[in-house]
Amino acid sequence: MATRLTDAERSNLGTLVPQWTPALDRDAIRREFKFANFSEAWGFMSRVALLAEKLDHHPEWFNVWNTVRIELTTHDVGGMSDRDLELAQAIDALIPASVPSMAP
Ligand code: HBI
């Protein structure tokens, strides 16, 4: 069961998920990723898809060539929840180890 983010968590997003920004038009967080090419972007999306299935929480996303934009929100609570933070942190943990062009 997802829990809607509290006001304290909302004002602390910069610490909890520093790479993600609040969407301006809805109650969601978003992050844009740039890869070396489409193949790398698609490989990343495949890894995120497997992760999402495991967590039973799914991204809304958009891809053009080397760019992937992800938005996370929770339909079940009508806005951002702890499950969005969990998925965002798990996605961040995929980077950079599994993405050659994003390795340090
Ligand atoms: N993914 N982003 C997101 N939001 C949800 O509310 C959600 C989901 N994946 C599965 C899921 N809910 C299930 O718990 C069912 O409600 C379908």
pLDDT at 102: 77
Residue nearest to atom 14 of ligand 1 (CA): 56
pLDDT tens, residue by residue, 42-87 = 999 999 999 999 999 999 999 999 999 999 999 999 999 999 999 9
Ligand 1 nearest-atom number relative to CA 2: 6
Residue 99 has pLDDT above 80, yes or no: no
Ligand 1 center–CA 74 separation, angstroms:
6
pLDDT tens, residue by residue, 17-37 = 999 999 999 999 999 999 999
Q: What pTM, to 2 d.p., does this model score?
A: 0.94
Ligand 1 center–CA 41 separation, angstroms:
24
Q: Are 12 and 22 in contact (CB under 8 A)?
A: no
Ligand 1 nearest-atom number relative to CA 60: 2
| Tally of CB atoms within 10 A around 98 | 13
CA–CA separation, 5 and 29 (whole Å):
12
pLDDT band at 101 (very low <50, low <70, confident <90, very high): confident
| Tally of CB atoms within 10 A around 40 | 19
CA–CA separation, 55 and 40 (whole Å):
23
